[in-house]
Amino acid sequence: QSVLTQPPSASGTPGQRVTISCSGSSSNIGSNTVNWYQQLPGTAPKLLIYSNNQRPSGVPDRFSGSKSGTSASLAISGLQSEDEADYYCAAWDDSLLAVFGGGTKLTVL
């Protein structure tokens, strides 16, 4: 059972906009920033969004993040076939424990 809650799956057609939610609590998302990771099949996770809404160099601006209270969201606009992957939200808990969501498998139809 993961500390952060994500939907197990999401889907969309090419060009569409999809969002993935992540729910936590006051001790993690509520008081610390949220990060998102993309894990393509058979590969290591890659940092996609940090500090709620910041993109590392090289990440397309089609990916955006937001946070409100104890929840966060990842939005992908202009969906492409190469976006098909697992997406994980993550945050630090106030006890200095890194917590992850269970992951959302994104399917591009």
d(CA 102, CA 5): 6
Given the complex with other proteins, which of 90 and 106 has the nearer CB atom?
Answer: 90
Residue 64 CA to residue 86 CA, distance in Å, equals 16
Q: Tokens standing for 67?
A: 């946070």
- DSSP character at residue 4: B
Query: Which region, judged by CB under 8 A, interacts with other proteins, from 21-29, 65-73, 76-84, 87-95?
Result: 87-95
HSE toward the beta carbon, residue 89, CA cutoff 13 A: 35
Which residue among 74, 85, 87, 101 contacts other proteins (CB under 8 A)?
Answer: 101
Nearer to other proteins by Cβ, of 2 and 66: the residue is 2
Out of 28, 35, 38, 73, name the contact with other proteins by CB under 8 A.
Answer: 35
**Is 95 a binder of other proteins (CB under 8 A)?**
yes
Cβ closer to other proteins: 46 or 62?
46
Q: Give the type of residue at 24.
A: G
Does the protein bind other proteins through residue 103 (CB under 8 A)?
Answer: yes
Helix then strand count (H, E) for the chain reads 0, 9
Binding site for other proteins (CB under 8 A): 2, 32-33, 35, 37, 43-47, 50, 56, 88, 90, 92, 95-103
